[in-house]
Amino acid sequence: MKLIFRIKSAEEDGRSPIEIGLGKDKIIAQNTDKILPTLDKLLKRNKIKIESLKDIKLEIDKKAGLTSQRITKAIIKALRFNLR
């Protein structure tokens, strides 16, 4: 199963929402503080364990916040470490 993170354009408050997709199921974390709880909710809803993920992909909008990009990349790096 492929997990996809899409960092959207920054909103007025400077935070970028992050869409997390798993197959056809998608959920949006309103900011980086909510990425991990949102990911947990998505995985539980689809009855999938992190170990069963095959690939993690990242898509970034041109106007996405830099901090949101860095935090999301760090989370993905940690998740990929678990996939080894």
pLDDT at 54: 87
Residues in Cβ contact with 59 at an 8 Å cutoff, skipping those fewer than 6 apart: 4, 5, 6, 7
pLDDT at 11: 87
pLDDT at 14: 83
pLDDT at 43: 96
Residue with tokens 């949101």: 68
Beta bridge partners of 25: 22
pLDDT at 66: 92
Domains with residue ranges and CATH for the chain: 2-83 (3.30.420.40)
Please give the Cα distance from 23 to 45 (Å, whole number).
Answer: 12
| Tens place of pLDDT per residue across the chain (84 aa) | 899 999 999 988 888 999 999 989 999 999 999 999 999 999 999 999 988 888 999 999 999 999 999 999 999 999 988 777
